[in-house]
Amino acid sequence: MNKLTDGQARVYEALRVAADKTTRGISEALDIDIGVARNILLTLERKGMATSSKIRTREGNQKEFAFIETEYEVVGNNQVLGKQPAVAIIDLPPAEEVELTPEQWQFLRDNKRWWRYRTVLAKEMGLPKYVFNNALEKLRKQMEREKSQDKKARKRA
């Protein structure tokens, strides 16, 4: 039997539901408006097998989900009657909750051309792209603060 990698195990743990590949199925699974569910389906059809997006739930909070096209077997009278298209919905943790290690921060600081190679660097660091982009934004703001503090220090001197 194959063992799951850590990443696969996290995905399976986070798997929320496999909804029917219909606007109603997605809407009921996530408790969101039918129009938002329709947009998810359209994006899936346009992009292909998978997509992710931030969604505002009916309670008003935003969550990030990944959507993957899949199918499930329809069983009746103890036999498989066919396959039904479905959408696997995965709860993604907020990017702010995923912290980079000190080595990863140092790697970003040392590599000055990270903005050109975001996808490659995200893969090298083993991070989902949305977490990596959030980390880059934090780093950019931190570097701007340091730069402005240096300017203020020079003016005082």
- Compare 35 and 87 and report the one with higher pLDDT: 35
Within-domain flag for 1 = no
Between vectors from CA 138 to CA 136 and to CA 141, what angle results, nearest 5°?
Answer: 110
Within-domain flag for 73 = yes
What would the pLDDT profile of 68-101 be if each residue is shown by its tens digit?
776 666 677 777 777 777 777 766 666 555 566 7
Instruction: Specify whether 47 is located in the same domain as 101.
Output: no
Within-domain flag for 34 = yes
For 7-42, give one letter per residue: b (16+ CB within 10 A) or e.
Answer: eeeebeeeeeebbebbbebbbebbebeeebbebbbe
Element (H, E) at 60: none
Non-local CB neighbours of 4 within 8 Å, separated by 6+ positions: 12
- pLDDT for the residue numbered 115: 54
- Amino acid, res. 121: L
Residue position matching structure tokens 């408790």: 31
Out of 92, 111, 144, a domain closes at 92
Within-domain flag for 56 = yes
Instruction: Specify whether 101 is located in the same domain as 44.
Output: no
Mean pLDDT of 124-145: 73
What would the pLDDT profile of 2-11 be if each residue is shown by its tens digit?
444 444 444 4
Q: State the chain's mean pLDDT as an integer.
A: 68
Out of 43, 70, 92, a domain closes at 92
Query: Please, which pLDDT band fits residue 13 given cuts at 50, 70 and 90?
Result: very low
Number of domains in the chain: 2
Out of 38, 65, 92, a domain closes at 92
Q: Which domain holds residue 78?
A: 6-92
